Structure 1
């Protein structure tokens, strides 16, 4: 069973459409709070689940993104939500691809943020194995030490130091088994590249201009392969674009949803 953060889920039980927000590694649904608050004020139904073991979600050893997609479908069914726009950032993007593969009829549109479609090359898998060993030896602090320097635009570190501190705290709240189980799920994910050309729903691709983890070229490659998709590059944002530029990100998300609803 998953825990989640939400807005207007009571209305969601009577709604045919909602927004499903899937968080990055090794964070939690708390990273989506700026969007939950802003979109909640518009009356839109928003659900942001926590991955296994995070913020009270049931722990699951050896889980993969297929398991998680089925869990997400069960959560939506329990809330009476028939169809969603899925917005996933980084790891959440990998999960969004898997959810689309398994449940395309539940998806009205996709928002793919600071993510990539391909699975890991051998050298990337080796790096993730080393990450797991280091976190096992040194704890969640080690995960934060490795992730934080790559998360943000250079301007964020100086202009928004509290955001950096809050993100570090979010990571260090997680247990070692939970962090490493999520990392193994990332390592074993399906390659979504072959299905990009077959995606038929509206797609918005978002990337921070200064993202060093999944840079602009990676986002452009997704955009180029999905017919009719839109690419948005957010200035002064790195890998966590929704937190670094929350107003611009939320505006783009709301505009995407409003255009979508007008066409339904």
Structure 2
């Protein structure tokens, strides 16, 4: 069973929060209490090998989606809004492809639908090798500077350091496995046109990893979707501007 952070909430609905690479599900702390206080049952699972979740060598996005469905069944959830940021977005799209009947709505944050190009795949393999040679600190050094808006990175060192610490706590082997799963993910571009559940796309306006242009392309392909761009936010838009992010997410949930 997947391990998770969670908050009890009430009967307003169920929400799954799927985290980015290579941070842990603790990245959703600014969302857990506000969602629960608004009546939602909310959990933030960790990917295999992160936090206290058991390792699963060779895992895929589909494997994770199947375990999310089993987790929902164990909790007695008939459906949920699936919120995924970056890697979590890949998992959310895999979940919808496999379990559309369990998906009440989708919230795709700072993510992309297309698979890696050969060049991107090669870069990820080099990343994996560097992390295995130098440790989790290498992953933090490469990733954290790209996570936040410039203003946040310069003015909120405690948030930057907390994010860095969430990465270096993970085992290099598990970071490498997660990167492999990302590199081998399926292309979801064609599936976007077939999504029928309410879908919200959220992106930081200063995200240099998955740009607002990428978000707009996804929005154009998903029928009836809504696009929200958050000013002064980078790739981890939920941490960069949590109040704005929470407001957008709650507005979406209340519209269901």
Partners of 2:151 and 2:115 in 1: CA distance: 30
For the 8 Å contact 2:12–2:41, the answer to whether it is kept is: no
In structure 2, the partner of 1:59 is: 55
SS in 2 for 1:45: strand
TM-score (norm 2): 0.98
TM-score (norm 1): 0.95
1:241 to 237, 241, 244: 237
Q: Which residues in structure 2 correspond to 1:37-76 (within 5 Å)?
A: 37-76=33-72
Q: Which residues in structure 2 correspond to 1:182-197 (within 5 Å)?
A: 182-197=178-193
Q: 2:81 aligned with 1:85, yes or no?
A: yes
Q: Which residues in structure 2 correspond to 1:148-159 (within 5 Å)?
A: 148-159=144-155
In structure 1, the partner of 2:133 is: 137
Partners of 2:73 and 2:155 in 1: CA distance: 42
1:169 to 165, 171, 180: 165
SS in 2 for 1:66: helix
Partners of 1:6 and 1:80 in 2: CA distance: 15
Runs of 4+ in 1 over 3 A off after TM superposition: none
| Structure 1 residue 236, shift from structure 2 partner | 0.4
2:248 to 246, 252, 256: 252
Partners of 1:239 and 1:135 in 2: CA distance: 21
1:34 to 30, 33, 36: 30
For the 8 Å contact 1:118–1:191, the answer to whether it is kept is: yes
Evaluate the alpha carbon distance shift between residue 138 and residue 187 of structure 1 in structure 2; reply closer, same or farther with a 3 A threshold: same
| Structure 1 residue 216, shift from structure 2 partner | 0.5
Q: 2:113 aligned with 1:121, yes or no?
A: no
| Structure 1 residue 179, shift from structure 2 partner | 0.3
Gaps of 5+ in 2: none
CA-based RMSD of the aligned residues comes to 1.0
Gaps of 5+ in 1: none
SS in 2 for 1:198: coil
